[in-house]
Chain A
Amino acid sequence: MNGPAPELLRVEDLSVEFGGRLRAVDGVGFTVKAGETLAVVGESGSGKSVTALSLMRLLPEGVGRYASGRVSFDGKDLLDLSPGEMEKLRGQDIAMIFQEPMTSLNPILTIGFQIMEPLRIHLGLTGAQARARAVELLGLVGISDAERRLDQYPHQFSGGMRQRVMIAIGLACDPKLIIADEPTTALDVTIQAQILELMKDLSRRLDIALILITHNLGIVARYADRVAVMYAARIVESGTAEAVFARPRHPYTMGLLRSVPRLDRARQTRLATIEGLPPDLANAPSGCRFAPRCPFAIASCAEPPHLSETDTGGLSACHRWEEIAAGTIREVPAEPAPARLLAADGPKEIMRLEKLSKTFEVGRGIGRKPGIVRAVEQVSLSVGEGETLGLVGESGCGKSTLGRLILGLEEPTSGTIAFEGKDITAAPPAERRRLRRDIQVIFQDPFSSLNPRMTVGSIVEEPLKVYGLRKGARARGERVRELLDQVGLRADMAERYPHQLSGGQRQRVGIARALAMEPRFIVCDEAVSALDVSIQGQIINLLERLQAELGLTFLFIAHDLAVVRHISTRVAVMYLGRVMEIADRDAIYAEPLHPYTKVLLDAAPVPDPEIEKTRAPRIVNGDLPSPLSPPPGCVFHTRCPIATEECRGIIPEPREIRPGHFAACIKVEAQP
């Protein structure tokens, strides 16, 4: 862009209170120029979504109150407008896109009606005109067959398609600004790339400013011109994306950037973490809110810091930014990763899956043919003792079902699961029960994976009691304390109920429960996916430490490629129930062979604007096919960039292309 763009939005000293005292947004200010993209990043509870909603005056009625602030947009103060004037502005000058595409469209109104509604209200277009414009809009957001699709209802669209419809609604009246609140968080990574590329492209072509609210630093690096970092209801740092990523001037930003696992770097060190938890906003510290967790905190941090301009041209709310800039205070380098207990001549095999398949019947009813979902199809894998096998894939690829099969929560339709050479599925019940102790689980959702009616202590103690691992209440209590200590929880947590703990603490309890069984193999089913970046780092480090100390083997199921790269020794990529590629961690990321793996790695943004500038993301087209009717032949051929006619007919078997590197694709040539 040439020439300074005019300022479009200026937010000054915006504060929003909940329930009288709790300030969810506290003195936030930023500006957005016409046509630029501002990313607001922060972890959950940082106030970024409340900020977005309050700009639109969309806070739930009677809940939020504007305590102070000005929001100047195009010469008007939005907080002074009457409700009627505000309605005129919404959807016409400022549009908003939300996180949940599945629930953000009215289920009983047609897509066409919902796109045409703002056209009718704001532009006064009549039936035929509005329809013509709606067709045009659907074309713009890449939905083909627009005429027909206008008359369909939201449930006939996939999540990604619904988000495109939301964008079409947003674009309807040629707004000057679009606010997108976590627009792709609920979507798979390939779809995320499609949607964000579309938004970026439209914003450039139509000169629309974009406020992108997100927790994903990779997205920020790829798409934002400028960044504002929020922590505990305040902005702690802002500036151009290049400056904030390359030369952060606030310890929180620095910590955040260092605690994200990196997709683009081989792992050498433990993840740096930000210790502790964000403050409770109802009694936030009066000074710098990050001070209790800050490695550089000094006495003067008890005074509230102000945003001051730094050498990078940005703003930082740290008393010591000059020292950071001068390099006189620096972060402690992260410790090296704990050594793994891997045997020198390759690990001994502990788990082996042979041609494992699982199908589910759905929609059974009188006089109806049930549909068959092939959740897991002919999967063969082997896991070595002490290693971590990462299992990645998009939703519906069968990775969680595979985990449940190993855990014995589902019975396989065919195939075998051998643990230490013994087939679990064929074992007699007593034997199975014994084997089960060796294979434990850590679940994704720390909120629902703990029984709300049991205390932390009794949750951890239960397996000791049931299996008689410790005799007597005293010995058990001792062991519970030991286990809690092992996962980094204080002994007095044993008295508490799960709802009294934070998400990260709950996940630690889940780990302690698994450890109580003294297992040898742990299935981590999206074990860190629901956690914020800073907490996620803590848990990953904990898992790695435990693995080294106890010689555990992990099956680490996740959709986040960077996390998997960081924690795994080998990685398997799944798509529609089948394994596409298996290889050593660094090999698969450095030299992916399967076209799906390539697409997946391309779609995931890396938290570094310099790298992102040089990457031209290859966008895979289309949606995931329904697992009810997977494509014939290679299941990926419908979206594959290199597929030919041949791929429709052949189901490719995984072949060892390089030593230890398997890929299920007929187009991949054997390499030395």
Chain B
Amino acid sequence: MTDTANLQPRRLNRPTFGALGRFAYQQPVGAASFVVIVVMLLAGILAPWVSPYDALAVDYGALLSPPSLDHLAGTDAFGRDVFSRIIHGARTAMIIGLSSAFLGCTGGAILGAASAFFGGRVDAAIQRFVDILLAFPLVVLALVVVAILGRNPVFGIDISLIFAIAIPIVPQVSRVIRAAALTVQAMPYIDAARTAGYSNSRIILRHMAPNLVTPYLIMLTAYIAQAILLEATLSFLGLGVAEPTPAWGLMLSGNAQDFFLTAPWLVIFPGIAISLAVIAFNLFGDALRDYLDPRLKQ
């Protein structure tokens, strides 16, 4: 045991340029993942302009050609440029990941907060419902929703898919937010607000909600990673994004499996893209948690 170990002095020269700078200084890993996230978001937004080829353009002259200077990540069985498809895939991943995580977390947060605030029968009813949803494995629940909703593409984005990913998130988030809300509710400052005779809506909005923002944000970043992973999984199973829309999971399914011995780049690069995105959101979520809630920090 090192009884006499010394702790490194932290925050000796704390930079003064605001919360963002403080975050970057205290959480360098988190800041790095934030940069990765920003790059992916930009890639998604600017996909048509920054990708070297049209993601849908078929080139029979260059079927399954290995990575080269022309095709940085090679081409697939239709001669489509894999790198361009990965950049376009970022758009799909970000839209579906962000929107379904937002939908699921917000729905879960509202459900959890309502459950905690109203208590009694409302709480019991919501918790039974959540129990039922929790009995489904994540993928199974998503697939059941897919089976129920079918496909509803709007501007190339499958609304059903967003719900399929969002719904399994709801019960999990609601559990966490309910617990957090119960903790907040037991705080003496809530009692003080009740003693002051404030209305329920004021207590909820002004006194409880701001104290639930931190756990909500932490859950949101964590579930963006989950949502991206789930989208890739569903697309891989052929039940998510449909061809020819470029999506990372989709690029790993179908003929990628037939050719991957001879053309391993078909498997390697989209997988790296998925992993990078999920890792970035995971690490960013961890860093955000440590930064916003120092009590959880180990």
Q: Do A and B bind each other?
A: yes
Interface residues of A (CB under 8 A from B): 17-21, 57, 59, 61-66, 83, 404, 407-409, 432-433, 436-437, 439-441, 443-445, 448-454, 462-463, 466, 510, 513, 517
B9–A441 contact, CB under 8 A? Answer: no
Partner of B7, one of A20, A433, A454, A466: A20
What separation, in Å, do the CA atoms of A569 and B196 have in the docked complex?
26
B 196-211 to A, binary, CB cutoff 8 A, 1 in contact else 0: 1110001000110011
Given A17-B6, A62-B7, A510-B192; 20 other pairs, CB 8 A cutoff: A18-B7, A20-B8, A21-B9, A59-B3, A61-B5, A62-B2, A62-B5, A62-B6, A432-B197, A437-B197, A445-B188, A449-B191, A449-B192, A451-B193, A451-B207, A454-B206, A463-B196, A466-B198, A466-B202, A513-B196
Given A21-B9, A436-B195, A436-B196, decide whether A83 and B189 contact each other with a Cβ distance below 8 A.
no
What separation, in Å, do the CA atoms of A472 and B202 have in the docked complex?
20
Interface residues of B (CB under 8 A from A): 1-10, 187-189, 191-198, 202, 206-207, 210-211
CB-CB under 8 A from B191, the residues of chain A are: 404, 407, 409, 441, 443, 449
B192–A513 contact, CB under 8 A? Answer: yes
Partner of B194, one of A20, A62, A409, A450: A409
CB-CB under 8 A from A83, the residues of chain B are: 1, 3
Nearest CB on A from B107, distance (A): 23
Partner of A407, one of B2, B5, B195, B198: B195
CB-CB under 8 A from B207, the residues of chain A are: 451
Given A20-B9, A21-B9, A408-B194, decide whether A61 and B2 contact each other with a Cβ distance below 8 A.
yes
CB-CB under 8 A from B193, the residues of chain A are: 451
CB-CB under 8 A from B210, the residues of chain A are: 451, 453-454
Nearest CB on B from A58, distance (A): 9
B188–A20 contact, CB under 8 A? Answer: no
Nearest CB on B from A299, distance (A): 34
CB-CB under 8 A from B192, the residues of chain A are: 441, 443, 449, 510, 513
CB-CB under 8 A from A445, the residues of chain B are: 188
B5–A65 contact, CB under 8 A? Answer: yes
Identify the closest chain B residue to A447 (Cβ): B188
CB-CB under 8 A from B194, the residues of chain A are: 407-409
- What are 27 A-B contacts defined by CB distance under 8 Å? A20-B7, A21-B9, A59-B3, A61-B3, A61-B5, A62-B6, A66-B3, A66-B4, A83-B3, A407-B191, A407-B195, A408-B195, A433-B197, A436-B196, A440-B196, A441-B191, A443-B188, A443-B191, A443-B192, A448-B188, A449-B188, A449-B189, A449-B191, A449-B192, A452-B211, A462-B206, A513-B192
A57–B3 contact, CB under 8 A? Answer: yes
Identify the closest chain A residue to B197 (Cβ): A436
Nearest CB on B from A453, distance (A): 4
Nearest CB on B from A221, distance (A): 33
Nearest CB on B from A94, distance (A): 15
Identify the closest chain A residue to B6 (Cβ): A65
Partner of A517, one of B2, B3, B196: B196
B195–A441 contact, CB under 8 A? Answer: yes
Partner of A453, one of B188, B202, B211: B211
CB-CB under 8 A from A440, the residues of chain B are: 195-196
CB-CB under 8 A from B10, the residues of chain A are: 19
Nearest CB on A from B182, distance (A): 14
Give 10 nearest A-B pairs by CB, closest first.
A453-B210, A449-B188, A436-B197, A20-B9, A62-B5, A443-B188, A451-B189, A433-B197, A441-B195, A83-B1
Most B CB atoms within 10 A — which of A21, A59, A62, A404? A62
What separation, in Å, do the CA atoms of A64 and B7 have in the docked complex?
8
CB-CB under 8 A from A448, the residues of chain B are: 187-189
Nearest CB on A from B185, distance (A): 12
Nearest CB on A from B266, distance (A): 48
What separation, in Å, do the CA atoms of A159 and B207 have in the docked complex?
35
Nearest CB on B from A406, distance (A): 10
What separation, in Å, do the CA atoms of A453 and B191 have in the docked complex?
16
What separation, in Å, do the CA atoms of A444 and B189 have in the docked complex?
11
Identify the closest chain A residue to B187 (Cβ): A448
What separation, in Å, do the CA atoms of A126 and B30 have in the docked complex?
54
CB-CB under 8 A from A57, the residues of chain B are: 3
Identify the closest chain A residue to B5 (Cβ): A62
CB-CB under 8 A from B188, the residues of chain A are: 443-445, 448-449
CB-CB under 8 A from B3, the residues of chain A are: 57, 59, 61, 64, 66, 83
Identify the closest chain A residue to B199 (Cβ): A466
CB-CB under 8 A from A64, the residues of chain B are: 3
CB-CB under 8 A from B187, the residues of chain A are: 448-449
A450–B195 contact, CB under 8 A? Answer: no
Identify the closest chain B residue to A434 (Cβ): B197
Nearest CB on B from A321, distance (A): 36
Nearest CB on B from A525, distance (A): 9
CB-CB under 8 A from A20, the residues of chain B are: 6-9
Identify the closest chain B residue to A440 (Cβ): B195
CB-CB under 8 A from B197, the residues of chain A are: 432-433, 436-437, 466
What separation, in Å, do the CA atoms of A450 and B2 have in the docked complex?
40
Given A436-B196, A441-B195, A463-B196, decide whether A450 and B6 contact each other with a Cβ distance below 8 A.
no
Identify the closest chain B residue to A19 (Cβ): B7
Nearest CB on A from B98, distance (A): 26
What separation, in Å, do the CA atoms of A517 and B6 have in the docked complex?
50
What separation, in Å, do the CA atoms of A404 and B190 have in the docked complex?
13
What separation, in Å, do the CA atoms of A122 and B191 have in the docked complex?
51
Identify the closest chain B residue to A458 (Cβ): B206
A466–B9 contact, CB under 8 A? Answer: no
What separation, in Å, do the CA atoms of A444 and B3 have in the docked complex?
37
CB-CB under 8 A from B6, the residues of chain A are: 17, 20, 62, 65
Nearest CB on B from A404, distance (A): 8
What separation, in Å, do the CA atoms of A444 and B191 have in the docked complex?
12
Nearest CB on B from A353, distance (A): 17
Nearest CB on A from B218, distance (A): 16
B1–A19 contact, CB under 8 A? Answer: no
Identify the closest chain B residue to A523 (Cβ): B195
What separation, in Å, do the CA atoms of A261 and B198 have in the docked complex?
36
Nearest CB on A from B257, distance (A): 49
Nearest CB on B from A473, distance (A): 17
CB-CB under 8 A from A63, the residues of chain B are: 7
Nearest CB on A from B175, distance (A): 19
CB-CB under 8 A from A65, the residues of chain B are: 4-7
CB-CB under 8 A from A62, the residues of chain B are: 2, 5-7
CB-CB under 8 A from B1, the residues of chain A are: 61, 83
Identify the closest chain A residue to B208 (Cβ): A451
What separation, in Å, do the CA atoms of A596 and B2 have in the docked complex?
51
Identify the closest chain A residue to B194 (Cβ): A409
Nearest CB on A from B102, distance (A): 22
What separation, in Å, do the CA atoms of A440 and B191 have in the docked complex?
11
What separation, in Å, do the CA atoms of A64 and B10 have in the docked complex?
14
